[in-house]
Structure 1
Amino acid sequence: MVAVALSVSRVVAALVLVVLNGFFVASEFAFVRVRSTSVDQLVADGRPGANALADVMGSLDDYLAATQLGITIASLGLGWIGEPAVAALIEPVLGSLLPANIVHLVAFAIGFSVITFLHVVFGELAPKTIAIAQAERVAMLLAPPMKLAYYLFAPGIVVFNGTANLFTRAIGVPPASETDETMEEREIRRVLARSGEAGHVDDEEVEMVNAVFELDDTVVREAMVPRPDVASIPADADLDAIRATVLEAGHTRYPVVAADDADRVVGFVDTKDVLRAGEAGEASTTAADLARDLVIVPETTSLSDLLVQFRDERRQMAAVVDEWGAFEGIATVEDAVETLVGDLRDEFDPESGDHAVRKSGAGAYEADGSVSLSAVNDALGTEFDGDGFETLGGLVLDRLGRSPEVGDSVTAGDYAFAVTAADGARISTVRIEETGDETTGDGSKSGDEASHSGAGDDERGDGDDERDEGDERDEGDERGDGA
């Protein structure tokens, strides 16, 4: 009778150890699952157990060590007490059914199986699942008793952690925290991508956050309005000439260039100043008189730095210059924002697809020469990468190796790119056709190009003269983006 009572008490002790094991397992998973930012909000809301949880999160590495120590002690105790207790209870029953020489072996196997089942299911898996599913609730519930366990285990934690750290240092591995909540950029991108695929975050939001990360890697040259598209005003232009440019271009701000040097930007004119000057009847006022200071940045400046400069200097537009100081184009706050959210158009902007790749038939597309390579890659599923150029026109010019003419054609990858319109040395529009040939060379000329190129030096010279005249017209005719 005494033996049976002893066995029952051992079984009860084993069940208590299973519960303790589950307590430490649930505590470990719940504490790791809860974010410190969530704990701050729980404390602010006055939730029961939130303050104790905040204390735990403040020394989380030590508390995790306490949970691991508790799990180890409970598991060892369960193996020491549980199996013999169960075996002792069932041996009398098995004695009347089995030969005496195998009773203990069978009782041991059954006892081991029962304890393992209880340990794994109720001491590990169930607590872990509950803690993960209800992390905040479980963490607040278990934090107060876990603080008591932490104080009980504190001497052991100091010894074990200290010994482990000495060992890892001896083999050249520095101690690391188990609770670092920070993530690198690539990890954040992966989390966002998975969240987008699961439908927890909108695809547009994923794209926008990715674009924010790319701001620091995107240079102004990739987002600026190139000089041929810029509506600039000569410094000696009078009010009538300024008004004419404003009415034609329809922008708010215009760069002012020196009267004798279109490569030198001297400031910018705001249409508000033009209106004020007109109201004041200052007929002799010129663009130089109205010009305000303009931010001037190199074309290699990152967009993130440009936005910071806009904010600090309270400006909306910057002139972009190359390494020799020549005027290359302008960049505005809108240009930077468009890299995040896409093309922005107001009610005065023309409805056109100039900055998009437009499908024009089976395997055929039309695009403006100023379309970015990234837009081309998105539309075609290609991976064209420019070295010194950012646009479709730059790709064609790079492979062509000379000034373009209508009919010129080059190939890249599985596509042929034909010039359908050109303005001097600038490619206006391009027709893209799928060839199905994996060509990676510098491109080939079409039959039209061959006949065009074979017309002789005189024709080429005439073309050069015409392009020079076209360039002169461009300087006075530039249109572009204001703010």
Structure 2
Amino acid sequence: MEWILLVVGLLLILGTGFFVAMEFALVALDQSAVQQEIEKGDYKGKAVLQCLKTLSTQLSSCQLGITITTLLTGYTLDIALQSMAVGTISSWGLSESVARVLTLVFSMGLATALSMIMGELIPKNMAIAISYPTARALAPYHLLFTKMMGPLVRSMNGAANKILNLFGLEAKEELSSARTPEELSSMVRRSADQGTLDSDTARFVDKTLSFAELTAVDVMTSRRQIQMLEDTAPVSDVIELARTTGHSRFPLYREDQDNVVGVVHLKKAVAVPEDIRPTLEAGALMEDVLRVPETVHLDSLLMQLREGALQLAIVLDEYGGTAGMTTLEDLVEEIVGEVSDEHDTGNTEELALKLGSGDWIFSGLRRPDEVNEYIEPLTVMENPAFETMGGFMMHALRRVPEEGDTVPVDGGILRVEKMEQRRVDRLRFIPQATENTEITEGSVRA
């Protein structure tokens, strides 16, 4: 009789393993991944997808199966092992009470170990390692069990959900397979760190995901750096400005740079006969220009530029004045990095220059997220109070910086190398600053 109970107990342990493996496989799987397998022709995956669409019910069914098999395992296996061990332990010459206690401890310990290893740990680890094959093999049988035990599963699930509702929580039948851009970016960076995705691809995907989070003010060329012309300027000035700057498009303003009225293209200027260029106003050749607020997101801005077949947009501040300008090339470079066109000199400025001493030199117009990514030891927290590294220095110093001013940051020290009037033109980052690092009189501690 004990041998029959032993076999039944071992089969019940396998039953526990079945439900444990199914439970962990369902939790580990993603609906979109299963859907892809089905689209490839794996129709057995439909049972898995059906389980995922009713995940709460299926997990409750797994829990019910685990509970039933575990209880029956304890009943059958304990009796079988006690019956088989009592004779051996009694032969050791121990008293009946001691032998009974040792037999109970032995049988319970062995039954628990077998149940944990064969019924819990092995199925769990297998389901985590090969989630889809495990779920694919077990799903049809599990759906049958759920159908058979449906009334009991639904009643228990309903009772649990009512208790959750008392605490203001609402149960969900399936997990959301959607991911936010932040979650996807985190997954991409983790994949790159683990070597499953090469760094260039990871950087491209990460920039693509974060693209929609950026606004026009993040990528625009500031008003101070824009080469503008008054709309009454002669066409010859357009050609001369193109020759000296290498640009082909110039915004035109009327009376004040806050009133940009259009944009003129070099190709229209050179099409004007030379004898007319000194007298013909650039405004006669101008085209309308797209105007957008600083807060417009880059994905929306890109769509507007493409729909209008435009190359640039004027960015307006909250008062309607000119804050800056952004081009289609700026948007593309935000994803793929620096892009050289036919007007570039070929000496595109590096985001940051590393010196032989280990220090870094970069423009004060760079954004914190750019230098954080490019200069690994440097970490500057982004803040709505500033958009550029020069703005960070002003924010930290609480005044207009001067050459030589320093601000301690995570990873080292930032020092103002060059000012252009009241704008921070160049910054130096000194990595791994120590307590003995010299701090100038105009420095602050961040």
After TM superposition, the score normalised by the length of structure 2 is 0.83
Give the distance between the partners of 1:143 and 1:338, measured in 2 at CA: 47
SS at match of 1:436: coil
Give the distance between the partners of 1:103 and 1:428, measured in 2 at CA: 88
Contact 1:224 1:335 (C-alpha < 8 Å) held by counterparts: yes
Match of 2:116 in 1: 120
Q: Deviations over 1:106-162 (max 9, x none)?
A: 332222222222211111111122222222212111111112111111011011011
Give the distance between the partners of 1:217 and 1:440, measured in 2 at CA: 39
Match of 1:287 in 2: 282
Aligned length: 433
Match of 1:345 in 2: 340
Give the distance between the partners of 1:155 and 1:408, measured in 2 at CA: 78
Give the distance between the partners of 2:13 and 2:352, measured in 1 at CA: 65
Once superposed, what is the RMSD of the aligned Cα atoms? 3.5
- How big is the shift at 1:84? 0.4
Give the distance between the partners of 1:155 and 1:218, measured in 2 at CA: 51
Q: Which moved more, 1:169-178 or 1:218-227?
A: 169-178
Matches within 5 A, 1:130-279: 130-177=126-173, 179-258=175-254, 260-274=255-269, 277-278=271-272
Aligned counterpart for 1:50 among listed residues 7, 29, 45: 45
Give the distance between the partners of 2:366 and 2:30, measured in 1 at CA: 44
Give the distance between the partners of 1:139 and 1:412, measured in 2 at CA: 56
Q: Counterpart of 1:34 in structure 2: which amino acid?
A: L
Match of 1:436 in 2: 437
SS at match of 2:253: strand
Give the distance between the partners of 1:263 and 1:130, measured in 2 at CA: 66
Structure with greater helix share of residues: 1
Match of 1:322 in 2: 317
SS at match of 1:132: helix
1:298 maps onto 2:293 in alignment: yes
Q: Deviations over 1:194-249 (max 9, x none)?
A: 32221122334444444445445533223211233323333234443333333333
- Name the CA shift for 1:206/1:166 in 2 (closer, same or farther; >3 Å): same
- Name the CA shift for 1:439/1:114 in 2 (closer, same or farther; >3 Å): farther
- Name the CA shift for 1:125/1:246 in 2 (closer, same or farther; >3 Å): same
Contact 2:262 2:287 (C-alpha < 8 Å) held by counterparts: yes
- How big is the shift at 1:297? 1.7
SS at match of 1:262: strand
Match of 2:59 in 1: 64
Give the distance between the partners of 2:428 and 2:42, measured in 1 at CA: 65
Q: Which moved more, 1:190-199 or 1:378-387?
A: 378-387
Give the distance between the partners of 1:385 and 1:42, measured in 2 at CA: 41
- Name the CA shift for 1:309/1:229 in 2 (closer, same or farther; >3 Å): same
Contact 1:416 1:432 (C-alpha < 8 Å) held by counterparts: yes
Contact 1:400 1:410 (C-alpha < 8 Å) held by counterparts: no
Q: Deviations over 1:59-108 (max 9, x none)?
A: 22211111111011000000111110121123234443343503333332
- How big is the shift at 1:292? 1.7
Contact 1:420 1:431 (C-alpha < 8 Å) held by counterparts: no
Match of 2:36 in 1: 41
- Name the CA shift for 1:210/1:50 in 2 (closer, same or farther; >3 Å): closer
SS at match of 1:257: strand
- Name the CA shift for 1:156/1:235 in 2 (closer, same or farther; >3 Å): same
1:390 maps onto 2:387 in alignment: yes
Contact 1:296 1:318 (C-alpha < 8 Å) held by counterparts: yes
- How big is the shift at 1:416? 6.8
Q: Deviations over 1:18-55 (max 9, x none)?
A: 11111111111222222211222222233252232232
Give the distance between the partners of 1:172 and 1:78, measured in 2 at CA: 38
Give the distance between the partners of 2:249 and 2:300, measured in 1 at CA: 21
Give the distance between the partners of 1:125 and 1:281, measured in 2 at CA: 89
- Name the CA shift for 1:369/1:53 in 2 (closer, same or farther; >3 Å): closer
Q: Which has the higher relative contact order, 1 or 2, with Cα contacts under 8 A spaced 6 or more apart?
A: 1
- Name the CA shift for 1:178/1:111 in 2 (closer, same or farther; >3 Å): farther
Q: Which moved more, 1:145-154 or 1:281-290?
A: 281-290
- Name the CA shift for 1:25/1:438 in 2 (closer, same or farther; >3 Å): farther
Give the distance between the partners of 2:394 and 2:27, measured in 1 at CA: 56
- How big is the shift at 1:355? 5.7
Paired-residue identity, %: 27
Gaps of 5+ in 1: 1-5, 444-483
Q: Counterpart of 1:25 in structure 2: which amino acid?
A: V
Give the distance between the partners of 1:363 and 1:441, measured in 2 at CA: 23
Gaps of 5+ in 2: none
